[in-house]
């Protein structure tokens, strides 16, 4: 199948190095301590953060740092064909773990000993790149909850199909069988915190594809920063400090 | 007054169930002072958020939120936030009712709404809400009193029918989930388009019957008969509509009544540990009937506004 046509356009009309439209909103779950929704094209996820709060299970309490927990769940209607999935299957357990580790690496856990931070991500629509969208939503929700972080973690995926590196794969491209590289970075510290790839790629092409994903992460970061700034400005105005 | 009211009620296969409520007993963490304050406010017909006992919170409807579904809607009731989606699949009618399609309602409670829904924590509440909704909206086993006529889902008797899967997701919860879910399902069904289907009989016995699904023509449901659910929560000596989770934590019992546009009762559920005087239940029903009229009108205008907003968007 042709994923990039001779004019250089992809199935959904994007250029190889073009991202899908990003949309984000802060404060979508009013009762959570922090929450955000994040959309990458047709992929839509919601993240809610509860904490820092008392540790629920005493045996998990740590005296020198906060406990970070994460649960990933997919709505029944999120995929094209309706499927009733059991909670806690292998895929969601793995994604929960990935998100937890990525977020834990950027939260300043040592500032909140003997406490617990819960991150819940809920996929409303899945169209490829849910992993990345979840991490981006979780970053926004953590920032909204006012949890101290080293940096904003952002994530994006890139792939390689028809001898072309492609940024931000959708479901069709993702299931095409080519390589899929998901990268998460700390943009200001310039560090990679998450790197996953399946299928195979020659070494030199991998470098290109990964570089493309990193560029995507940086684009996401600038969008997230804009959203946070906008949110901070409205908060300032609501509190009556605006001019 | 009660006798006169009674005559206009037909219990449309209404079933009275006593069940243990899981969602009202959750810890909200109120002090004795706060509890007394809320109770005192309800007794004086002025609640914490300034509402009267029989006033709903503002309700917002958005339709078409899930593009892959045949129909979907998001309903916000104060800080309660739910999504309902309708997916139609071709299925086979059941042997006991070969002349009807099937409707299934599933509710899922996302941990984003409440950390205690994590893992399997929300399962009990999900099941309780699903069965309460099925009881309120789908009528009895024969299909009588259903909000959506199951016979309208039939394509070919005994062979092919539509199976409607109504999936709901609770994103944020601040009390009165059942009413919000009921409203979301009503809105999602109004938003639903089912493809027109041509059924071709098999030419010979060894050939399979053919089903032609049109991807251009869509049929809309008649949703005017879908009931709304009104939950009356008893706190102290009074009862209130649209309780927040703080108020639900103080309830002694609650009655959820589903009423359709014609004022008929389509289902009834009583929850809560404390017993209710039968005359109080009848009184509650007449109040619910009155409240439901306003709710149906409000909901219909919100759904219409949401549909219009969808059409205007490119």
Please report, for the domain that includes residue B255, its CATH number: 3.30.230.70
How far apart are the C-alpha atoms of A43 and A125, rounded to whole Å? Answer: 5
Residues of the domain holding B31: 2-200+208-312
**B-chain residues within 8 Å CB-CB of A75?**
83, 108, 110, 167, 169
Closest listed residue to residue A80, CA positions, set B154, B207, B180, B70 = B70
Based on the structure, what is the number of domains in chain A? 1
Residue A6 falls within a domain, yes or no?
A: no
Q: B215-251: per-residue pLDDT in tens?
A: 778 888 888 889 999 999 999 899 999 999 999 999 9
Does residue A233 carry a pLDDT above 90? yes
- Domain-located, residue A17: no
Nearest residue to B269 (alpha-carbon basis) of B154, B92, B129: B129
* A14 located within any domain: no
Q: Do B72 and A76 touch (CB under 8 A)?
A: no
B108 neighbourhood in chain A, CB within 8 Å: 75-76
**Is residue A215 a part of any domain in this protein?**
yes
Specify the residue for token string 């027109």.
B196
Cβ neighbourhood burial of B192 (10 Å; 0-12, 13-18, 19+): buried
CATH number at residue A175: 3.30.230.70
In a domain, A2, yes or no: no
Q: Do B111 and A32 touch (CB under 8 A)?
A: no
Low-confidence ranges of chain B (pLDDT < 50): 1-26
Residue at token pair 């605006």: A242
Look at residue A4 and tell me if it is in a domain: no
Q: List chain A residues with CB under 8 Å of B26.
A: none
Q: What is the ipTM of this complex?
A: 0.91
The mean pLDDT of chain A is: 93
Per-residue confidence (pLDDT) for residue B15, from 0 to 100: 38
B126 CB near a chain A CB, below 8 Å?
Answer: no
Q: Do A47 and B112 lie within an 8 Å CB cutoff?
A: yes
For the residues A128-155, what does the mean pLDDT come to?
96
Q: How many CA atoms lie less than 13 Å away from B98 in the CB half-sphere?
A: 5
Task: Name chain B contacts of A57, Cβ cutoff 8 Å.
Answer: none
The number of beta carbons lying within 10 Å of the beta carbon of residue A146 is: 11
User: Which residues in A have their CB inside 8 Å of a CB on B?
Assistant: 28-32, 35, 42, 46-48, 50, 56, 71, 73, 75-77, 79-80, 82, 84, 87-88, 118, 120-122, 124-125
- Percent of chain A clearing pLDDT 70 (strictly above): 97
Tell me the torsion sign for CA atoms A19, A25, A26, A31: negative
Domain count along chain B: 1
Instruction: Tell me how close the Cα of A205 comes to any Cα of chain B, in angstroms.
Output: 35
Cβ-Cβ contacts under 8 Å, B69 against chain A: 77
Q: What is the pLDDT of residue A87?
A: 66
Mutate to test the interface with B, among A12, A77, A87 (most CBs of B within 10 A): A77
For residue A154, the enclosing domain spans 22-238
In order of A9, B63, B69, B168, the CA distances from B308 in angstroms are 34, 10, 19, 23
């Amino acid at each position: 199948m042709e994923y990039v046509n001779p004019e250089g356009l992809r199935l959904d009309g994007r250029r190889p190095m073009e991202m899908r439209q990003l949309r984000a909103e802060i404060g979508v779950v009013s009762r959570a301590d922090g929450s955000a929704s994040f959309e990458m094209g047709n992929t839509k996820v919601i993240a809610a953060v509860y904490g820092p709060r008392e540790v629920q299970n005493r045996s998990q309490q740590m005296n020198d740092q906060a406990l970070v927990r994460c649960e990933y769940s997919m709505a029944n209607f999120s995929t094209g064909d309706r499927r009733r999935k059991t909670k806690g299957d292998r895929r969601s357990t793995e994604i929960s773990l990935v998100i937890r580790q990525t977020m834990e690496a950027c939260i300043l856990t040592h500032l909140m000993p003997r406490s617990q931070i819960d991150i819940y991500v809920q996929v409303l629509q899945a169209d490829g790149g849910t992993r990345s969208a979840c991490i981006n939503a979780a970053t926004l929700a953590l920032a909204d909850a006012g949890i101290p972080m080293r940096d904003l973690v952002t994530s994006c995926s890139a792939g390689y199909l028809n001898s072309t590196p492609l940024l931000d794969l959708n479901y069709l491209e993702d299931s095409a069988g080519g390589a899929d590289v998901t990268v998460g970075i700390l943009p200001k510290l310039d560090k990679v915190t998450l790197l996953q790839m399946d299928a195979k790629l020659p070494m030199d092409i991998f470098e290109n594809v990964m570089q493309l994903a990193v560029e995507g992460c940086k684009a996401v970061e600038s969008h997230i920063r804009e959203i946070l700034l906008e949110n901070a400005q409205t908060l300032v105005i609501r509190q009556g400090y605006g001019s | 007054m009660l006798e006169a009211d009674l005559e206009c009620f037909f219990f449309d296969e209404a079933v009275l169930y006593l069940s243990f409520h899981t969602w009202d007993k959750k810890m909200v963490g109120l002090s004795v002072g706060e509890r007394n304050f809320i109770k005192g406010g309800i007794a004086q017909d002025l609640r914490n958020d300034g509402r009267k006992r029989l006033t709903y919170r503002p309700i917002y409807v958005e339709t078409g939120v899930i593009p892959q579904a045949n129909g979907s809607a998001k309903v916000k009731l104060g800080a309660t936030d739910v999504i309902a989606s309708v997916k139609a699949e071709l299925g086979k009618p059941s042997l006991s009712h070969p002349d009807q399609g099937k409707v299934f309602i599933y509710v899922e409670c996302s941990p984003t709404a409440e950390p205690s829904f994590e893992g399997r924590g929300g399962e009990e509440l999900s099941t309780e809400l699903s069965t309460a909704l099925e009881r309120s909206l789908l009528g009895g086993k024969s299909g009588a009193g259903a909000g959506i006529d199951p016979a309208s889902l039939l394509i070919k008797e005994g062979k092919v029918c539509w199976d409607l899967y109504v999936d709901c997701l609770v994103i944020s919860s601040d009390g009165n989930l059942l009413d919000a879910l009921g409203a979301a399902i009503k809105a999602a069904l109004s938003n639903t388009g089912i493809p027109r289907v041509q059924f071709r009989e098999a030419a010979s016995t060894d050939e399979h019957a053919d089903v032609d699904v049109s991807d251009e023509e869509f049929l809309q449901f008649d949703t005017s008969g879908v009931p709304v659910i009104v939950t009356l929560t008893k706190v102290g000596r009074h009862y209130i509509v649209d309780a927040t989770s703080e108020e639900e934590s103080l309830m002694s019992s609650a009655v959820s009544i589903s009423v359709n546009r014609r004022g008929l009762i389509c289902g009834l559920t009583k929850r809560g540990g404390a017993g209710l005087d039968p005359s109080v239940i009848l009184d509650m029903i007449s109040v619910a009937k009155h409240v439901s009229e306003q709710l149906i009108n409000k909901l219909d205008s919100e759904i219409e506004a949401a549909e219009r907003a969808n059409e205007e968007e490119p």
